Structures are given as C-alpha cells and as structure tokens.
Amino acid sequence: MTSKLLTPVQVGDLALKNRIIMSSLTRSRAGKQHIPNELLAEYYMQRASAGLVMTEATMIAADGCAFTAEAGIWDAERVAGWKQVTDAVHQAGGLMAVQLWHPGRAAHSLLNDGAQPISSSNKAIRNDTIYTSKGAQPYEVPRALRTDELPGIVASFRKAAENAKQAGFDAVEIHGAHGYLLDQFLRDGANDRSDLYGGSIENRARLLFEVVDAAIDVLGAGRVGLRISPLVPYNDMIDSDPKLLVAYVAEQLERRGAAFLDLRHDQYDRPAEQELAKIARTTYHGTLMRNGGFSQASGEAALADGSADAIIYGKLYIANPDLVERFRLGTPLAQLDPKTLYSPGPHGYTDYPVFVGSRAEPAANAVI
C-alpha cells in the first residue's frame, strides 16, 4: 500500500516532497551569544529529507532568552549564522522554516541581564523552576505589558520575519503555543486584561494576529504558519473554552490564507484533542499539520481519514536524522538519549546513526 506520508503536498507557496515535518525542538546548542553555528548547520542538514524542517524556537529579541543557549535572529550577526544553516539544508534538497518566539513570563532576569519577564498579566508560572546561571530558580512575577508597548512587540516580530527572509528561510512559523508570550495573551488562564487585548477571544487573539499579519506583510501569506496548543498545560497554561479558541484562530487563518496551522496536541488520540482537530479541519482549509505523539502508523491513519494534511514528528527526529528513509524502508527506529537533549556539543545531537542497508552507521561527519 502506498504511504501517504511519503507523498508530496503543497503548503502555501511551498511544494513539499513529503508530509513528514520535523518539529521545532529546543536543543540549546547555539552558545550563550545565541548565534547559530556549524554544529546547527550539520544537525539540520542531516534531517533535510523531511518535507519541511522547522527550527528550534528562535529569539526575536536579545532580552527574550529562556534556555541559555537557544538561537536568536534579531540582528545581522545572528542572521549570518542562520544563513549557513539554511544554505546547508537547501544544498541537501530541503526546505526550512524558522519558528519566531518570545518566551514572555517563561524567562528569567538572570538570563536577560536583569530584565524582568513580561507577559499579558502579572501572573507567574507556579510550582515550577527555570534553569539559570545560579541553578534552578522559581519563575519570577512578570511585568504586565502596557497597551502602548504592544506595537513594539509586533515590530520585533516583524523585524525577525524580515531577518528570516534575509537568512534564506522558506517560511516562518509564529509560536503561539506552549505558554509563551503570544499564548499568554491567547489563553484566558494567563490573560486577565481589561483592555483591547483581554476578555473576549477576539481581544485575546488580537496581539497574535497583529504578529501574523506583520509576518504576512513581509513574506506573503503562503509562507507564514502558526502553532497553537489549546490543551497543552506546559508552563502552567489552561483555557476555559479551547473549542472556541480553535474555531476562532482557524477562521482567522482561513481569512488570511495562511500557509499552515500547526495544531500541537497534548496527546493526539485523546478525545478532546480529536475534537479540536475536527473543529480546525472544518474551519481552516489550508494545510493542517498535527503534532503530539504520532507514530508512523497513526500518522498514516490521520492523513487517510482527512484529519491532517501533514504530520509533525519531534522526539523521533532527534534520534533518527533519516526518519523519512526509515519510514520508507520500515526499518527499526533509534531511541533518543534524554540525558543529551540540552547538553552542549555534538553528542546526542549530530552523532545519531543513519540506517544503511541492514545496519545502523554514524551519520555523515558525526562525532562519536
């Protein structure tokens, strides 16, 4: 039987060679200056057989750090770093999107030269810690952004989209998920504002779509996508009406003709998550990408029943740079080493094996 995962798909302006998408995966290998380097170029190039390679969450501002060594894209030096990465992926025949991100309250002053975290409201992330230069620290109470500051946030995302274009990215994904800044406005569990950016879903989504529109102005709708995660509780998040949230976001993306919607599930097969996929599918007619615990078989099933147009794989891509080939051949999958997820250097990053013939061999240029 023909694998639908391995068939081409048009995503906005992009012609993808298959429907297997590499998820955004924070790996903290860009160093404390947040400059993409040769190691990142090798890592992403190894995975260029994906229909679309998505970067790790990428800082739009110098004071938007949450992971110590994540990559940024706010100035020329970091654009130059990303250019070597996109060049490597393109030379390997791949397409690449950058995920534009601000952590908001999921940051810490120790990671940002003393700057207090910002958010929609002054609610801190509860019962969790963040890793800093002084070890694990509780999350700080953020400063609620003033209404007159929000155009500056949009301008930072716009500049990041311009930089993404200059760096050679084929598309951008706006990160509106996982309890980061835009999600802190979108979901009412974090947003208690009473201005034009709080209260109704239309108001809570206002900042998100101002950012989406800025990116569309720069790149065109056919090269802009959005990630949301209405039921993912990460970073102390919740929403009182996730169905309404998905319906509104999907309808707004449809009106704009955006290239794709990345629906990040807490676990794709839970009934509540399946219902959200149905709502998104009904309202949005662009490319619906689903993400959250899919295997090869369940990904094929979602494509077959029409609940998705492409499947995003995360953890499987960490340990299997040749995931597309392994799916094609039906070969065993390598297992990731969780101890190396965020450690520096190539180990657990570029040295996972590729499957050749009947055996696994180190990836090209791997350091083992």
Residues annotated as catalytic (active site), given as ranges: 180
| Helix, strand, coil percentages, rounded to 5, for the chain | 35, 20, 45
What three-state secondary structure class fits 355? strand
Q: Measuring CA to CA, which residue among 10, 23, 16 is closest to residue 227? A: 23
**The token pair that represents 131 in the structure block:** 């890793």
**Spatial distance between the Cα atoms of 289 and 250, rounded to a whole number of angstroms:** 12
Q: Measuring CA to CA, which residue among 180, 219, 224, 185 is closest to residue 70? A: 180
Polymer length of the chain: 368
**Spatial distance between the Cα atoms of 206 and 186, rounded to a whole number of angstroms:** 8
Beta bridge partners of 348: none
The maximal CA–CA distance of the chain, rounded, in angstroms, is 62
Task: Judge whether 232 and 266 are in contact, CB under 8 Å.
Answer: yes
Instruction: Write the DSSP assignment of 49-109 as a string of letters.
Output: TSSEEEEEEEESSTT--SSSS--B-SSHHHHHHHHHHHHHHHHTT--EEEEEE--TTSS-G
**The token pair that represents 226 in the structure block:** 């959005």
